[in-house]
Structures are given as structure tokens and as C-alpha cells.
Chain A
């Protein structure tokens, strides 16, 4: 093709830069606000006047505990030498146990645990099923292939009432363990169809002759799958794993329905929403928490980026 004129180049770069800015601006806004001191919030510039890391320190538990505000009457009591040291401790504890400490690390760990377990199980179960649907002939095979597609498009909103009622009626919703199990199973069905669809399409691109050759050499079908297909699919398996992990990491609806009463087991999306609507809604803390919630996703994204575009267009078009 002919070379671009200078005007065309200028136009092209202007459009590209506008598009990238449109995509990235909200992220810059989050980062910038998380680093700004409250007095600086009205400042429209994205660059903070002074770097203010308190919000991060607070969330990550790096802040020295705040000096408790002790009323004068209590202070007089404390100064009384007749009071035993133990009593003084108890009194002090009442005022220094700042009820508004936000256990961010704990929420992050909860979210990581459930997302990790979901992604592992989902990728594993999906690879078995996807292999069968892509390669083996068995009754109801095409029904299942189409069924996956259908299930993959039924959103969680349509299932929230029956799933909630089911877990109530079998008694899972009344205990912490049961609730966590329900949530894990729900995350599994949120990710399984996507994973099956992506892996099924990928397995079909691997030449069958490779398995055939292995089977000629005496491998059973299962061994051929395990020794030939799985290693060849590593990049895709990894991509699917990341994709499932991110879906579970981001999930809000079912977490909010099931975990509402078990505050210790909240996941990040639920915790952030609670933080936002609570009295602690302070922009720098919200933004720092958002930034920290984003971070693992961005890391996953960078790890999987090379295979992501292909994997998504091959079928993983959820969302």
C-alpha cells in the first residue's frame, strides 16, 4: 500500500491516542485519587500535589495504631494509682479497639482462595468434558455441545432466586461451611461453560494424528489425552485458568446474596461495596482498595495477554 501522508499519520495517531486515553482514563483517575491527600481532591489534575500513601498503609495494616481518644473522666480514672494494671488495660482496650479497621488483607485472602479453587476445579473438569465433546463419539454428544452454549448464555440473574431457595431448602444457607460450598458450586457453574467452550474449540485445532500416533505406540485413549493433548494445550489451559480466576475474583451478585451475614468471609467486591456505603467512605481509601483489587487482575492479564485475544475470539466471549 502507498505511504501515508503526514496528515493521515497525524489523524491516525490522534485517533489511537484518544481511544487509549478513553480506555485508560478511569484507571488513572483511580490511581491518582488513591495517592491524593483529601485537601487535593478538588484539584482536577491527575498528578497529586503531595504523594499521600496513608490510604494504602491503612488498608495493608502498615499504619501505627491511632492514639485513642480518651475522655477526660476516663483519663482521671486511669491516672488513679489505685487501679490495677489489668483494669487499666481493659479500659484502654475499650477506646483503642477502633471498630472501623477494615480487614482488607483478610478479604483479599478470601477472594484469592475461592477464585483459585474455582479456577483449578473448573479448568480440570472442563478439560475432561471438552475433550470428550470435541473428540469422542457418545450418545447425546451434540445435545451436550449445544447445551453448553445455551447454559453459557443464561446469566446468573435468572438463577439467583432458585439457587438461593435450593440452598435454603437443603440447609446449606444456614451454616458458614454450607454457604461457602454453595458459593463455590455457583462459581463453578459460572465458569465451567465458558471454560468448556474455549477448551473445546482449542482441542479441535490439535491434529488428531498426534493422538493416533501415541495410541499406535500403545497408549490408551486416556493416556494419549494426558500425555499429548494436555501438554500441548498448556498455554490455553493457563489462559482458561486465568479467565476463570478473574470471573470468580470479580463476582459480586452471588457473593452479596450468600455472604451478606458472614462478614469474616466477605470477598473483595462485597467488602468494597460495604466500605463505599459505610461511614468510612473516604475517596482515597476507596480508590486504594480499588487499586489493590485491580492489581491481581492486571497481573493475570499481563501473564495471559499473549494467548488471550485468540482464546476469547475462539469462543470465550462472555460479558
Chain B
């Protein structure tokens, strides 16, 4: 290519990316830096700030509530990442079989992923409603496991379990799609060879499917961690009493005694963790 063409191409390229990159720069990159700046200030809702140096970091790191919400976040991450990965894998293996109405079933299990959180949380609220809900009906009236109806979502400890279950329900379809795409590309003769070797279904899963899928599994796990670290709406709308880090940050920033400087500080720390995870993803997963 002549140098004029290369120049033209470069200038066209820059023109085409300019609007998108401009918006992203203004509304993502700049705010990330601004957030770092804000974390050194006492910030009011109306924009007034006073410089406080490292005080936000000091008070945050000596605040037991912060560690509590870190703990809740970790439990939430462990539960949801394992849950979505395992269920996604199981669903993908199941939907890779041929059976009648397979396309219908494949479509239906994607629904939770697309549905607005705000709609489905009410369905879940009703299921666990102490007076009318099917959960208490089953546990108390049908199975007689306990005598008293319990408000599972009202109690933060049990609400965490409900929130994890809800997240698995809502987000396993994305893991399922990634697994299914990979499963469909696994060569059939690998299975046939394993069958000739006398492997049963379990053996074929263990010796063929799992090794073929190991990179996708790692991808799914890492992506789940990255997304769920920031997950706000699903938790807040279903059970605002489960204080994962994003919820804790939201309360600091916009509820009660508003302290936007501290909220910025939490975000800075969380972003550092996130950057490490994304770096891992780009360096390891995308290179595979």
C-alpha cells in the first residue's frame, strides 16, 4: 500500500472511532480518575468538597461494617460463581442432546437472563412471601419440615441464600450459552473413540468433555467473578438487607448520612481488584 493510502486509512479510522471513544473517554475514563481524586475529599451531595487526605481510607479500613460487606461479597461470589458454572455446564450438556421440543426448551431457559430484574424480583418476593408464598406452603403445610412460616428474605442471613439462588437462576444462561457453543465444536470422533475404549457416559464426560471445556470453564468462572463483583440491582432490589460491596457503596453515597467521599474510596479499592481480574482475563483467557 502506498503511504497516501495508509494515511487516508488512518485518518478515516480515527474519524470513525472518535465519537465512541470520545464518549467513553469522557464518561468512563475521566470518571475513574475523578473518582480517585474524590476519594481524598469529604464530598457532599451538592458538590461541596473539603480535602481530607487519606482520612477516607483510614476510616474505611477501620470500619467493621466494611469488612462485613467484604465478607458478604465473598460468600455471594463463591455461591454464585460455583452455582452458575455448574448449572450452566449441566444445562449445556443436557441441551446438547437431541430430543423433541429442543429448540423451545433452549429458548425458554434463556428467558431469566433477559427479563428485567425489577419484574422478576417481585415474582421471587412472592414465592418467599411468609403469608402467601409457595415456599412456606411447601415447607410448612406440605412437607412439615418446620412448624413456623419464615420470612426468608426479611432475615439478612437467609436472604443471602435467596439472593445467591436468584443470581444463579438469572445468570446461568450466559454460562450455558458459552458452554453449549464449545460443546458443539467438540469433535464427535473423540466420543466415539472413548466409547470404543469402553468408557461409559461418566467416563466420556470425565475424559473428553471436561478436558475439552477446561478453557471455557476458566473463562466462565473469571467472567462471573468480574461481573458479580459489581452486581448491584439484582441484590438491592430483591433483598436490600444483603450488604454486598456495591450495596454498601450505594448506601454510603446516596442514603442516610451521605458520604460520597467514602463511597468513592470503596470504588477505588474495588476497581483495583477489578483491574487485576481483567488483567488476568486479558493475559490468560484471551491468549488461549
Residue numbers of A with Cβ under 8 A of B are 1, 12-13, 15-16, 19-20, 22-27, 29-30, 33, 41-42, 44, 125-126, 128-129, 131-133, 136-139, 141, 144, 146-151, 153-166, 168-169, 185-186, 188-189, 192-193, 196, 221-222, 246, 249-250, 252-253, 257, 268-269, 272-273, 276, 283, 286-287, 290-291, 293-294, 297-298, 300-301, 305, 308-309, 312-313, 317-319
Contacts and interface: CB of A to CB of B under 8 A. Distances in A.
A132 B18 CA distance: 10
Given A26-B124, A317-B174, A319-B227, A133 B114 contact: no
B105 A16 contact: yes
Interface string B84-96: 0000000100110
A197 B223 CA distance: 15
Contacts of B99: 12-13, 16
Interface string B8-40: 111111101101110110011111101100100
B119 interface: yes
A162 B264 contact: yes
B17 A133 contact: yes
Nearest to B231: A155
B9 A249 contact: no
A165 B267 CA distance: 14
A26 B127 contact: yes
28 contacts: A19-B94, A25-B127, A26-B127, A29-B134, A128-B16, A132-B12, A138-B10, A153-B274, A153-B278, A157-B230, A157-B249, A158-B32, A158-B230, A159-B28, A160-B249, A161-B263, A162-B31, A165-B38, A166-B34, A185-B23, A186-B27, A188-B27, A189-B28, A221-B8, A252-B118, A294-B119, A298-B111, A313-B181
Contacts of A257: 254
B237 A252 contact: yes
Given A29-B127, A136-B9, A269 B116 contact: yes
A148 B286 CA distance: 14
Contacts of B112: 23, 26
Contact of A297 (B114, B227, B267): B114
B253 A160 contact: yes
A241 B99 CA distance: 32
Contacts of A139: 10, 14
Interface in B42-74: 43, 45-47
A197 B227 CA distance: 16
Nearest to B1: A137
Contacts of B31: 159, 162-163, 166
Contacts of A25: 127
B270 interface: yes
B157 interface: no
B126 to A, nearest CB: 6
A312 B17 CA distance: 23
Contact of B232 (A157, A163, A305, A308): A157
Contact of B16 (A131, A162, A168): A131
A162 B117 contact: no
A158 B271 contact: yes
Interface string B241-273: 000001001100110000010011001001100
Given A29-B126, A128-B20, A162-B35, A294 B116 contact: yes
Contacts of B126: 29-30, 33, 283, 287
Contacts of B13: 132, 136-138, 141
Please name the 7 residue pairs, one residue from A and one from B, whose CB atoms are nearest each other, closest first: A155-B230, A138-B13, A136-B13, A162-B31, A26-B123, A129-B20, A132-B16
Contacts of B109: 19-20, 23
B56 to A, nearest CB: 12
Given A273-B237, A301-B114, A155 B232 contact: yes
Q: Which of A19, A33, A148, A312 has the most CB of B within 10 A?
A: A19
Contacts of B267: 157-161
Contacts of A169: 47
B106 to A, nearest CB: 8
B120 interface: yes
B122 interface: yes
A41 B126 CA distance: 10
B108 interface: yes
Interface string B190-211: 0100010000000000000000
Given A141-B13, A290-B123, A158 B35 contact: yes
Contacts of A276: 122
B146 interface: no
A26 B117 CA distance: 12
B219 to A, nearest CB: 9
